[in-house]
Amino acid sequence: MSLLDNINEWIYSRFKIKDLLTSIVKHPAPDYAVTNPLYCLGGTAFLCFLILVGTGIFLAMYYKPTPLEAYKSVEHIMTVVPMGSLIRSIHHWAANMMIAAVMLHMMRIYFMGAYKKPRELNWVVGVTLLLITTTFGFSGYLLPWDQLAFWATKIGTGIAGSIPIMGQYISLLLVGGTDIGAETMTRFFAIHVMVLPLTTAILLVLHFAMVRIQGISGRL
pLDDT score, position 38: 82
CA distances, 23 to each of 26, 112, 192, 207, 210 (Å): 6, 28, 34, 18, 15
Angle made by CA atoms 160, 115, 96, in degrees to the nearest 5: 50
Separation of CA 150 from chain center: 22
Assess whether pLDDT exceeds 70 at residue 199.
Answer: yes
Assess whether pLDDT exceeds 70 at residue 52.
Answer: yes
Q: Read out DSSP for 77-115?
A: HHHTSTTHHHHHHHHHHHHHHHHHHHHHHHHHHHHTTTT
pLDDT score, position 33: 64
Considering 55-59, 108-112, 211-215, the range whose residues carry the highest mean pLDDT is 55-59
What one-character DSSP code corresponds to residue 217? P
CA distance 192 to 203: 16
**pLDDT per residue as tens digits for the range 65-100:** 999 999 999 999 999 999 999 999 999 999 999 999
pLDDT score, position 34: 64
Mean pLDDT, the chain, rounded, equals: 88
Domains detected in the chain: 37-214 (1.20.810.10)
CA distances, 93 to each of 62, 103, 111, 122, 151 (Å): 19, 15, 27, 27, 21
CA distance 17 to 22: 9
pLDDT category of residue 11 using cuts at 50, 70 and 90: confident
Indicate the Cα dihedral angle 183, 186, 188, 192, nearest 10°: -170
Assess whether pLDDT exceeds 70 at residue 28.
Answer: no
Assess whether pLDDT exceeds 70 at residue 219.
Answer: no
